[in-house]
Amino acid sequence: MQPEGRITPWDAGLWSAEQAESLQPIVEAIDGRGATPAIQLAHAGRKASHKKPWDGGDFLEIGEGGWSIVGPSPIKYEESWGTPEELSVEDIDAVVADFASAARRSVDVGMRVIELHMAHGYLGCEFLSTLSNKRRDEYGGSLKNRARLTLRTVQAVRKAIPDSMPLFVRVSATEYVDGGWGIDECVELCRWLKDKALT
């Protein structure tokens, strides 16, 4: 949904009409065989800008074909990876809007199910976790604040797609680290997600 949200330069995207059109034959093939065309929309956040997994998956510097990565706070995912630039509130607004735009393109091309990837250390998960989110504004601190990006995205996407269209959100149940994201917070988030998906 944003170029800087890709894990590798070779990943598919959905930030333009041309990209959406390229999915049309795939949607038709899936539908024509009696299956349901579905799509997952994601932003890799600080886990972006890497080589292909089968080429080692190392972090790609800007001079090597990579790009500036972003996150809730300037904290590396791993020591050998890049330091993300902290997203401004305006940048966060753009992320939410771009998720909604990608969802509309998904509907237009014939997708019938959408999943938002907010797990596995991707951008939504980075905001949720106190390990990667050290912000002191309305997107950091309390669980409600850390969940704000995810909840706003769900609400924006829900408004951008038909009421009858299934909307899934992938979440991590736990980070398995003391002080990190855990089951109790995940359960509370899921309650809020249900509310936002219905409004």
Active-site annotation, residues: 122
Contact in structure between 158 and 119 (CB atoms under 8 Å): no
Contact in structure between 50 and 8 (CB atoms under 8 Å): yes
Nearest by Cα to 108 from 32, 156, 41, 162: 162
The H-assigned helical ranges of 12-142 are 17-22, 24-32, 89-109, 123-128
Nearest by Cα to 191 from 161, 140, 150, 157: 150
User: Which structure tokens are listed for 108?
Assistant: 């237009």
